[in-house]
Amino acid sequence: ITHQPDPATGDLLGPAERLREVVETAVLAEQLGFEGFAVGERHEHPFLSSSPPVVLSNIAARTSTLELWTGVTTLSLLDPVRAFEDYSTLDNLSGGRLNLMIGKGNGTAQAELFHVTPDDQWDRNREGYELFRLLWENETVTWEGRFRPPLADAVTVPRPLQRRLTIWHGSATSRESVDLAARYGDPVFSANVTNPIEPYAELIDYYRQRWAEYGHDPASARVGAGTAGLYVTRTSQEAVDRFRPLFDQRLRLAHAAGQPSVFDTVEDFVERSSALIGSPQQVIDKVLRYHERLGHEVMHVTADRGGLTTAEQRASLELFQSEVAPALRAAIPGRLVAR
């Protein structure tokens, strides 16, 4: 959940208003037929994502079919017992709609607030995952590790509604994350946002390689992927013309902050990034082109307005659901996963 001035108007919503906007967007997503909604976890500016289970519980109370995703839960920072209690409670309240995506996290707040550093974040992420999985699947757990006190016949409540939870491993660049996913037979989710496709595709290739080396059926590997933006209009030129000032403003802000730019023009951004900006057919063609390289069957699209008006955002989401999504579902059938 980003918390930044609107790139078009410069207006900054208060935290309460911004959080309400996120919940209302999730409600709209269900109304339009989207299958899930994700809330990430970050503990520093410019984000309001320090407590995903609280936000997702609010969304659960306002929806009935929407899958509730984390994107990602930073298990490297959390006590796995407390994380289990929060997410098991959410799983019960939502009727078993939870999908957990984990990752090591990122940002200076990790060291400043949680004393987690690059030297131990991978080990914390792995240990946190392994204990979380044990707690989810067993009523009593005896366990010992490095980063929290040991457990002896520990009983954790409430017991979750889903007997086995789908845990996705989110990664932008890390082989450690996808190796952990492959080892345990879990799906992996590529960030697929900042750069052109190749580094992400190489990471997915490595995941599939390790998946087979760990003895899993290659056909059962599951991959998801993010996108760098969404704006669908009737014609590609209309989409590019409207998105251009928003892209230019973002580029100016990035340069002012000393951040490098990967895409210097909106045309380059539309062509070489994973952003879905254009006509319905243009968006369909790009997703299918990415699918040829990644083999993904779950896709995340941004739900933030990002400078668009509320009406423009809704029109884009409606067009995506009415013309893009049906074509993608027909071309890339997803697999039902037993819960």
pLDDT score of 338 more than 50: no
3-class DSSP assignment, residue 74: strand
Summarised one tens digit per residue, pLDDT across range 126-182 is: 999 999 999 999 999 999 999 999 999 999 999 999 999 999 999 998 999 999 999
Per DSSP bridges, beta strands 188-190 and 167-171 are parallel
Residue 327 has pLDDT above 60, yes or no: yes
User: Which residue has better confidence, 291 or 106?
Assistant: 291
pLDDT value at 336 more than 70: no
pLDDT digits (tens, 9 = 90+) for 275-297: 999 999 999 999 999 999 999 99
Compute φ and ψ for 156, nearest 5 degrees. Answer: -120, 140
Percentage of residues in the chain having pLDDT higher than 90: 86
Please check the confidence at residue 5 and state whether its pLDDT lies above 90. Answer: no
- 205: buried, middle or exposed (CB in 10 Å: 19+, 13-18, 0-12)? middle
CA distance linking residue 315 with residue 128, whole number of Å: 41
Task: Quote the CA–CA distance of 228 and 211 in Å, as a whole number.
Answer: 27
Q: What is the pTM of this model?
A: 0.95
* Domains of the chain in sequence order: 1-165 (3.20.20.30), 230-339 (no CATH)
The H or E element containing residue 290 is helix 280-294
